[in-house]
Structure 1
């Protein structure tokens, strides 16, 4: 069974007691060693060499690292706030001035509108690949379910009247009847009348 004195000394060995002796040093009471502080404003890091912080995103991505995903080498000293500067911290944006941002936006939009103006001026847009449809009987309003003349506007298929005026209607009736007659004559042996 441990006595109180033995328990206290056991805790002191496991958790060394350090106390601030001056503004630049601390004393480890278990060993008696005096530790000079690297940063007197942060005595919790004691004599740890706290390197200057550097964003991992700004490191060379093509350099050879022991840990290429995190861009770190083995035994590199790490800043005490490394979680703010490693690859998994939020992205750091290097902001530009308003003048530069407006210049970049002006270049982008002038290129987009310039490209559209070139297409419009030289008429580089392709023509319709097929003739537009035209529907008889006022756009097939009655056939699509219109009950009266007031509802015809909602039910009818919108015909392209400009195409009808420019291109006219195809004369297919004479061609179809003559093709049918010639087909019947050529295949009279197989067609039973």
Structure 2
């Protein structure tokens, strides 16, 4: 079953006289058009399908000046501008082309980049430009309070403890109990011995 568009196309093909052009290669550099007898000199004998079309050199649209004024600004093309046969490989929608550099240039660019990065880091380290912490790191005594937090044996201390500062513990030890606190406690106990049950 034909669709309406297909049926109309079939009717038009039978009614309308469509002029057909028959061409054949007569020599290596010419084509003869049989309906008119015109002889067409080929611009490129290796591509006879181009006929006498003057193939212009392909210019990548991405390399054209983006600030110039074009009739089609997005595609960077002008009206009636001659096209290369492979224009679809040179337009704005073609794959990106990379401008490759030599190995020596690439090594030089990478060396400059990494020397700047490491030089900047060395400058910060040498002049000590990084500020110190405004506060001491938090530390918990007695191995990070592992026993106080529920560890039953030394094997599980690692999982229970809270980041101890072991170097500070070894250098400074633990703060002794304040003598004032102990003295005040004793005086309070003596003064209120009648109310405190032992």
Superposition TM-score, scaled by structure 2 size:
0.73
* Displacement after TM superposition at 1:86 (Å): 1.2
Note if contact 2:146-2:157 (Cα within 8 Å) is conserved in structure 1.
yes
Note if contact 2:42-2:51 (Cα within 8 Å) is conserved in structure 1.
yes
Query: Which of the numbers 26, 33, 39 marks the counterpart of 2:38?
Result: 33
Runs of 5+ unmatched residues, structure 1: 1-6, 176-193
SS of corresponding position for 1:150: helix
Matched positions, count:
165
* Displacement after TM superposition at 1:160 (Å): 2.1
Runs (4+) off by over 6 Å:
none
Distance in 2 between the 1:24 and 1:144 partners?
96
Superposition TM-score, scaled by structure 1 size:
0.75
RMSD of aligned residue pairs (Cα, Å): 2.8
* Displacement after TM superposition at 1:108 (Å): 0.6
Query: Which of the numbers 7, 12, 20 marks the counterpart of 2:25?
Result: 20
Query: Which of the numbers 25, 30, 49 marks the counterpart of 1:44?
Result: 49
Runs of 5+ unmatched residues, structure 2: 1-13, 182-198
Query: Which of the numbers 100, 103, 120 marks the counterpart of 2:105?
Result: 100
* Displacement after TM superposition at 1:70 (Å): 1.2
Distance in 1 between the 2:148 and 2:73 partners?
71
1:89 aligns with 2:107: no
